[in-house]
Amino acid sequence: MSLKVKIIAHTPNPEEVVAQAAKLCYSPVGVDGIMEKLTPEKIESFVNNLASIGHESPFEHVSFTFAVEGISRACSHQIVRHRIASYSQQSQRYVKEDGNFEFITPNIINEMGPLAWQQYERDMKTIHDMYLRWQKDIKEFVEETDYPTNGMNAEKVANENARYVLPNACETKIVFTMNVRSLYNFFSKRCCNRAQEEIRELADEMLKQVKEIAPILFKNAGAPCVRGKCPEGKMTCGRPKI
Ligand SMILES: Cc1cc2nc3c(=O)[nH]c(=O)nc-3n(C[C@H](O)[C@H](O)[C@H](O)COP(=O)(O)OP(=O)(O)OC[C@H]3O[C@@H](n4cnc5c(N)ncnc54)[C@H](O)[C@@H]3O)c2cc1C
């Protein structure tokens, strides 16, 4: 399954909203005056000024909601480490990994050639068989005993316990919302070549899509080397993104 990223919602007029908030901070205007004379040039100037002086809170007024599928649980775990966000992820308790067991194959395994990805697919099948066996055994155990289930049906108890043998490669789907300030941080860390390839591809695609909606806001977003020197020291990839 391949990566799919969609912006399903965002704050209307994102760049104007940030500029309005900034204008309210720095000009003697009331709520009625903050939209006046907000030309595209003025909006760009407000956004640039905020970024240059590090006044980042006005960027929090604008949020983007992404729907993502075709990523691994390894990748989703990295995404949810970003705490300044809201998440909804497909549950392995409610959704049984049955006939349509989807998994992500790292690019490197495809690059290693057919023998490697055939082995990988066999390994995934072995793990999936283990999962199905545990799912069946646990379900039968619950049905045949008085194991306490706290009102849950046997199927769900089986799903939530059998999943312990599932791999990080399991495909998952997630919806998340981040404000622009948090997105700057996300892009800074995850568009960098030091981030793992899968989340980097996701971050690059997210950045491409938000730039189509708000090119001024995201002009300088991305890995730190987009804005100047790489901060990674000895860990630098040595290939700053231009
Ligand atoms: C290349 C790479 C390697 C990584 N390796 C590891 C690893 O080996 N082990 C590991 O555990 N994680 C690792 N991480 C994850 C990383 O440590 C962060 O958890 C993740 O990138 C989320 O970043 P964040 O905390 O800045 O984001 P958010 O959680 O969205 O936080 C945004 C910002 O809010 C502020 N903030 C949020 N919460 C607090 C708080 N409690 N106290 C003070 N300030 C706060 C900070 O300024 C923070 O930068 C790695 C990340 C990358 C990109």
Pocket residue to mutate for ligand 1, from 63, 183, 189, 193, most atoms within 8 A of Cβ: 189
Q: Mean pLDDT throughout 203-211?
A: 98
- From atom 4 of ligand 1, which residue's Cα is the shortest distance away? 195
pLDDT class of 101 with cuts at 50, 70, 90: confident
pLDDT at 129: 94
Atom of ligand 1 nearest to the CA of 196: 1
Cα 81 to ligand 1 centre (Å):
6
How far is the C-alpha of 67 from the C-alpha of 71, rounded, in Å? Answer: 11
Residues 27-64 pLDDT 10s: 888 888 887 878 889 899 999 999 889 899 999 999 99
- Are 142 and 154 spatial neighbours (Cβ–Cβ below 8 Å)? yes
Residues 133-170 pLDDT 10s: 999 999 999 999 999 999 999 999 999 999 999 999 99
- Element spanning 135, H or E: helix 114-144
Q: Mean pLDDT throughout 83-110?
A: 88
Cα 191 to ligand 1 centre (Å):
14
Residue positions annotated with a catalytic role: 190
For residues 66-88, b (16+ Cβ closer than 10 Å) or e, as one string?
bebbbbbbbbbebbeebeebeee
Pocket residue to mutate for ligand 1, from 57, 79, 82, 191, most atoms within 8 A of Cβ: 82
Q: Mean pLDDT throughout 189-210?
A: 97
Residues 166-193 pLDDT 10s: 999 999 999 999 999 999 999 999 999 9
Both tokens assigned to 132: 């199905």
pLDDT class of 208 with cuts at 50, 70, 90: very high
Cα 145 to ligand 1 centre (Å):
45
pLDDT at 189: 96
What's the chain's average pLDDT? 93
- From atom 15 of ligand 1, which residue's Cα is the shortest distance away? 81
- Are 166 and 177 spatial neighbours (Cβ–Cβ below 8 Å)? no
Ligand 1 pocket by Cβ (under 6 Å) = 81-84, 182, 185, 189, 194-195
pLDDT at 52: 87
How far is the C-alpha of 214 from the C-alpha of 161, rounded, in Å? Answer: 44
% of residues, the chain, pLDDT over 70 = 98
Cα 20 to ligand 1 centre (Å):
30
Nearest to 162 by CA among 93, 103, 102: 93
pLDDT at 230: 84
How far is the C-alpha of 156 from the C-alpha of 65, rounded, in Å? Answer: 29
